């Protein structure tokens, strides 16, 4: 297991693909850290990830590729009952 530091907007799926090379590790990461698989991170959160090495993870590491697919737009929205939803409240 290794510890990584998140970027703003990274999701558990982003982390699984970036550090393990496969989205199937998202569940393992969520369980390992006691978080929901749909978690969108703020900057600087320490997250434990399995130590998996494959061609995809190696490519991202060697080329210093990071990505954050959690959208600010999706974090704030009106629900079907016209109630404003703001996920940031729950992550503070």
pTM exceeds 0.85 = no
Distance in angstroms (rounded) separating the CA atoms of residues 16 and 56: 11
Q: 18-27, 59-68, 77-86: which has the highest mean pLDDT?
A: 18-27
Per residue, what are the HEC states of the chain? CEEEECCCCCEHHHHHHHHHCCHHHHHHHHHHHCCCCCCECCCCCEEEECCCCCHHHHHHHHCCCCCCCCCHHHHEEECCCCCEEECHHHHC
Q: Which residue has the higher pLDDT, 53 or 29?
A: 29
44 exposure class (CB count in 10 Å sphere: 0-12, 13-18, 19+): exposed
Lowest average pLDDT, out of 32-41, 43-52, 79-88, goes to: 79-88
């Amino acid at each position: 297991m290794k510890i990584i530091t998140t970027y703003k907007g990274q999701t558990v799926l982003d982390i699984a693909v970036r550090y393990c090379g496969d989205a199937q590790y998202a569940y393992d990461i969520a369980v390992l850290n006691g978080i929901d698989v749909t978690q969108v991170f703020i900057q600087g959160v320490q997250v434990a990830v399995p130590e998996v090495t494959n061609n995809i993870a190696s490519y991202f590491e060697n080329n210093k590729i990071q990505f954050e697919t959690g959208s600010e737009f999706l974090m704030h929205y009106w629900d079907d009952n016209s109630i404003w939803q703001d996920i940031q409240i729950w992550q503070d």
